[in-house]
Amino acid sequence: MKGVSRETLAHIAAQDMPDGSCVNLGIGLPTMMADYVPAGREIMLHSEQGILGLGPKPEPGFEDEDVVSAGKTPLTLVKGASIFSHSDSFLMIRGGHIDISCLGAFQVGANGDLANWSTGDPTHTPAVGGAMDLAAGSANVWALMEHCQKDGAPRILERCTYPLTAAQCVKRIYTNLALILVTANGLIVQRIAAGLDFDSLQSVTAAKLTLSNTCSEYRPLTEAELANHQPNLLLADA
C-alpha cells in the first residue's frame, strides 16, 4: 500500500497547524512541513538547535552551509527570525512554550506512546537527540511516519515494542495511509488515502481503529501545489 507521497503528507500536516501556534519541526519528514505553511497564518516554526522563524528550503544554488536544520538539511530564515543558544532553545521546550511538536516515529502505541529513538538493533547506534524533551514538554505531539516498516510490519501497535521516547504523548498520527487521532475512546481514523478502504487500513494496523463519521479522503496534490513552497508570509512581512 503506497498511499500519498512524503511531500503530500508534509503538506497535509502543515495545513492543520493552527494560526498563532508555535510549532517545532523534528528531523526528517516533519522538517518538510516548512515548505507548505498556509499563506496568511502566523505560525512560528521552531528548530531545537536554536531557531524561531524557520523558513522553507532554499532554492537550488542558494543554500547556506551555516543555516541548517537540526537534521543538517539546508533551510532559510523568515524575516524577524531569531537565533539563540541550544540551552535557551531547550528552556523553551521544557518550559512548555511549544504548542505542537511534529516528530518522526518508529512506532506509536494505541495509548499515544511514542518510540522514535531506538529500534533495539545492536548494529544501529541509538540517537535520542531532543526528542524526549520535545515529546514530554510540548502541549501536543504529532507523529509523522510511514504506516508500515519496510518489511511490512505495522508501526501502529497496541503497545510499542521499541524503547519509549515518551508515554501517552501523541495526539495525532499522520501516515501515508491515514490521519489517525489518539483519543480516550481509542484510535479514530479522520482521513484516509484515496482508494483505500477501512478494512485494508485495519489489516496493516496492529491496533483497533474506529472510522470517524466525518472521515474524509487525503486529496492528491497538484504539481503546482507541491512546487509552491510557502514562506510564513505574515512573519516574512514583519
Which three cell numbers mark 99?
504548542
Torsion of CA 175, 39, 213, 143, to 10 degrees: 30
**Structure-derived torsion over alpha carbons of residues 194, 197, 200, 202, reported in degrees to the nearest 10:** 100
Q: How does strand 44-47 pair with strand 22-25?
A: parallel
214 exposed, middle or buried (CB, 10 Å; 0-12, 13-18, 19+)? exposed
CA dist 147 and 43 (Å) reads 27
CA–CA distance, 94 with 133 (Å, rounded to integer)? 6
**Quick check: helix, strand or coil at residue 99?**
coil
The catalytic position among 7, 42, 48, 223 is 48
Contact 204, 37 (CB under 8 A): no
Question: Long-range pairs for 3-7 at CB < 8 Å and ≥24 separation?
Answer: 3/147, 3/175, 3/176, 3/177, 3/193, 3/196, 3/218, 4/176, 4/177, 4/193, 4/218, 4/220, 5/176, 6/32, 6/176, 7/32, 7/35, 7/221, 7/226
Confirm whether 7 is a catalytic residue: no
Please give the positions annotated as active site: 48
